[in-house]
Amino acid sequence: MNPPAGEPRPVVSGALVRAHAYVAFLGFVIPLGFALILAAKFVWPDFLGSVPWLQFGRIRVFHTNGVIYGWLSTAFLSILYYVIPKLAGRPLLSERLAWWTFWVWNLGLVLGLGAILAGQMQGIEYAEFPPLADVVFAAGFVMALVNLLGTIFASPEKQLYVSSWYFILGFAFTALNYVMANIVPTFLAPGAAGAAITGLWIHNAVGLWITPIGVGLVYFFLPVLLKRPIYSHALSLVGFWTLSFFYPLGGAHHFFFSPIPWWLQVLAVPLTVVLFAVVATVIYNWLATLKGEWKQVPGNMALRYLATGIIAYFATCTQGPFHTFFSVQKVIHFTDWVVAHAHLALLGAFTYFNLAAFTYIWPRVTGKEFYSKKLAESAYWMVTIGFYVFYFLPLTALGLVEGYLWMSPAPFAESVIQAIPFWFSRLIGGVLIYGGLCAFAYNCWMTHRAGARAPAAVLEEAEAAGVAI
Ligand code: HEM
Ligand code: HEM
């Protein structure tokens, strides 16, 4: 809450960061629990089949919306409540508004995710919340926008650091994009035109919400963790402006081989491939910043998560333009290759960016040292091995198996039989990832409750930066 008039406000409210972080942790504990049931259903289709709210159609949507809004986006708010005041060099515009936002946002999440389990949803991918939940959730989003961007605009700093540019882009674009997704396909342009719009929405949700906020966070935490400036500010702005300009244009690539006009699908190819150049500037900048400093990576857990995420981001954005070519599309489209790609981006890259951020800020917003270094170490390896060895690689390979089988005269059922061992591997990977992420959350919780005092240097730094624990 804002202190009485006359008393200076702390720059960062630890309580606000922690409250959002705990909701974000629930945002993976619950939807990933459902993901395990989902993954089991691929291996044993009748598993829990008689329970209506555990049907595939409901829990798949619960999983995707749960991780995108409950985990990634709520974690973004938590981390931004730490990062934006520090970038702006001043407290949040209003801490009271931020607490109201917390309740409205969470009410939107509960209504939306609850409705999905109850089978009440609209048919727009990643925007399945029904209208009432949409309105509440969108209100929470706008409240966060006003507070966070308002803090940036009220900053005494004359120049905006590149992270702030990305945050402004992410919030401003998503406010418009969310309205477009929820109104245009249903009310103004049903049919194929509406389908094209939902493709644009999906594309922008990952590319102009998750991407700019996550990329902005890397631009903030990489120099902080390495204690050296970013390699090139000019290059960072090239990446920013080209993303803003080119990214929205390729949305039709989510609906290849669908009833949308063929010219639109063909045009989507060059407009997507050009994104590789955009991403290359960003990756080059990060790698050049890391140059000569890789030796720090193994011993620093936050940096380790960040570096692993950067490699995954590089892989995602190399894979993306490659699988856009029609020669590759005709093999991988509709296969598990795409599911692996989606997880490489959202789990391999952006979940790791968030874990890096939490690893860095948690001692600073609790004043405590991490409860267990062993648990932190196990969490990293469980998620990393679970994902790459048992999930990403097998599903990518499965995508090729499915694609080539579908082009052969073999019956479709053959591809399902061949897929079972790969899907079983995903289930094992899922258990490891789930265990690792729960260990991470438990470690943070126990740090707050029972961790030893953080080292004096960390406490002094937090105090000097105006963090109220
Ligand atoms: C330059 C980088 C990227 C390019 C060119 C690209 C391209 C694509 C293409 C063409 C598809 C559709 C594949 C198909 O259905 O056959 C796709 C799917 C997907 N991409 Fe990417 N991608 C890139 C980066 C990312 C990033 C950074 C994210 C997450 C933030 C992401 C998330 C997804 C998701 C979730 C899907 C699945 C969508 C669905 O099933 O409806 N991609 N991507
Ligand atoms: C325990 C770990 C996880 C497991 C076992 C898992 C499992 C699954 C399964 C079985 C599907 C349905 C695939 C299909 O319909 O063919 C799916 C889809 C999806 N999951 Fe996960 N998931 C996990 C973690 C995550 C995380 C952490 C995120 C994001 C942060 C995520 C985002 C998504 C998305 C966006 C899709 C839709 C992909 C598409 O349509 O192409 N998942 N997941």
Structural domain contains residue 38: yes
pLDDT of residue 7: 62
Report DSSP letters for 422-464, one per residue: HHHHHHHHHHHHHHHHHHHHHHHHHHHHHPPBPPHHHHHHHHH
The preferred substitution site among 48, 63, 347 for testing ligand 2, maximizing ligand atoms within 8 Å of CB, is 63
- As a whole number of angstroms, the distance between CA 218 and CA 235 comes to 15
* CA-based nearest residue to 429, from 311, 358, 345, 348: 348
> Separation of 386 CA from ligand 1 center, angstroms?
22
> Separation of 37 CA from ligand 2 center, angstroms?
11
Element (H, E) at 13: strand 12-13
Pocket of ligand 2 (CB under 6 A): 32, 35-36, 38-39, 60, 63-64, 67, 71-72, 338-339, 342-343, 346-347, 351, 426, 430, 433-434
- As a whole number of angstroms, the distance between CA 148 and CA 150 comes to 5
pLDDT of residue 111: 98
pLDDT of residue 6: 56
Structural domain contains residue 333: no
Structural domain contains residue 433: no
> Separation of 346 CA from ligand 1 center, angstroms?
10
R_g of the chain, CA atoms, integer Å? 22
- As a whole number of angstroms, the distance between CA 428 and CA 426 comes to 5
Look up residue 186 and give its amino acid.
T
Calculate the CA dihedral of residues 413, 414, 419, 420 and round it to 10 degrees: 70
- As a whole number of angstroms, the distance between CA 451 and CA 64 comes to 33
Structural domain contains residue 131: yes
Element (H, E) at 467: strand 467-468
- Sequence-separated (6 or more) residues with CB below 8 Å from residue 60: 38
pLDDT of residue 74: 98
* CA-based nearest residue to 102, from 83, 86, 131, 80: 80
pLDDT of residue 5: 57
Q: At what angle do helices 131-153 and 74-88 cross, to 10 degrees?
A: 20
Q: What pLDDT digit, counting tens, does each position of 266-288 carry?
A: 999 999 999 999 999 999 999 99
pLDDT of residue 366: 95
Structural domain contains residue 206: no
Structural domain contains residue 328: no
Range of the domain at 126: 10-158
Residue nearest to atom 41 of ligand 2 (CA): 339
Q: What pLDDT digit, counting tens, does each position of 412-438 carry?
A: 999 999 999 999 999 999 999 999 999
Structural domain contains residue 282: no
- Total domain count, the chain: 1
Give the atom of ligand 2 at the shortest distance from the alpha carbon of 42.
10
- As a whole number of angstroms, the distance between CA 280 and CA 403 comes to 29
> What values do phi and psi take at 160, rounded to 5?
-85, 130
Calculate the CA dihedral of residues 225, 231, 235, 240 and round it to 10 degrees: 0
- Ligand 1 in contact with 60 (CB < 6 A)? no
3-state secondary structure of 421: helix
Q: What pLDDT digit, counting tens, does each position of 7-46 carry?
A: 667 899 999 999 999 999 999 999 999 999 999 999 999 9
pLDDT of residue 3: 52
Q: How far is CA 57 from the centre of its chain?
A: 22
Q: Is the pTM of this model over 0.85?
A: yes
Report DSSP letters for 121-189, one per residue: --SSTT--S-HHHHHHHHHHHHHHHHHHHHHHHT-S-SS--HHHHHHHHHHHHHHHHHHHHHHIIIII-
C-alpha count within 13 angstroms, C-beta hemisphere, residue 354: 31
* CA-based nearest residue to 382, from 127, 32, 40: 32
Structural domain contains residue 88: yes
Print pLDDT tens along the chain (469 aa).
555 555 667 899 999 999 999 999 999 999 999 999 999 999 999 999 889 999 999 999 999 999 999 999 999 999 999 999 999 999 999 999 999 999 999 999 999 999 999 999 998 999 999 999 999 999 999 999 999 999 999 999 888 999 999 999 999 999 999 999 999 988 888 888 888 888 889 999 999 999 999 999 999 999 999 999 999 999 999 999 999 988 888 888 998 998 888 998 999 999 999 999 999 999 999 999 999 999 999 999 999 999 999 999 999 999 999 999 999 999 999 999 999 999 999 999 999 999 999 999 999 999 999 999 999 999 999 999 999 999 999 999 999 999 999 999 999 999 999 999 999 999 999 999 999 999 999 999 999 998 888 888 888 888 877 888 7
